Chains A and B, each alone.
Chain A
């Protein structure tokens, strides 16, 4: 049972005016930065605005912090990946450096891949990436990871099945 647009607006408005300041403070304590906290508080409300169940919120602050925490973890993860990306980019010879547009697109792609592979055990992840990005044979991967070739085959199948499940179009 979903609410009418008008009542949704009212609930959201009430949530915002009652808790926005508090949430921003909560985030500032954790992030140590006013601007990040403001951005994330805003993103949290945007996220909540597109959710369905709003009228049954018993503990609005617990709900808000759960959503905000998820976004915070996501953002840290993205920053970490971005840092690794910049480190890697620094190793690329100047004449092979992709254009700024290409760099930004590449970072987006890498983040998408990172999210898609999230939850796989490290060896499974590395094996799949070696296949996809290095074109490594299973024998080479087995040697590098110090496992059997048949394990590599299982890793590859598991990784692909995982990606297919993650990318399954919502029905």
Chain B
């Protein structure tokens, strides 16, 4: 976890986006290396606006010059999944279903903000809803169900 806020890779230069200075990067490997770093504001609670953030670059676009739907769905999976795992007492939960609606196109270079909240918890399932926005505009809304493995 970087000291002094979030340092983001932009090409070969490390730059600090002013809106993201109070957030901390969440270290994740594998496929998340393509969609990271994802940042979290440690002062905010689940459901609060601008709790998660990601600064997209040109490599995250689609052929039309908008943020790729796969990138936004991956961010939603991570924002909702991280929120779910705050409720599992260390147990792993996996996505059973994720429904995503694309409300508007997003651009590179401006932070995408994310938030999620649990809507229902059963013994083995966690229902969660969240959204992604950019510049005050909703890009994506999502609902999902996670299964607690072994429960």
Q: Do A and B come from one complex?
A: no
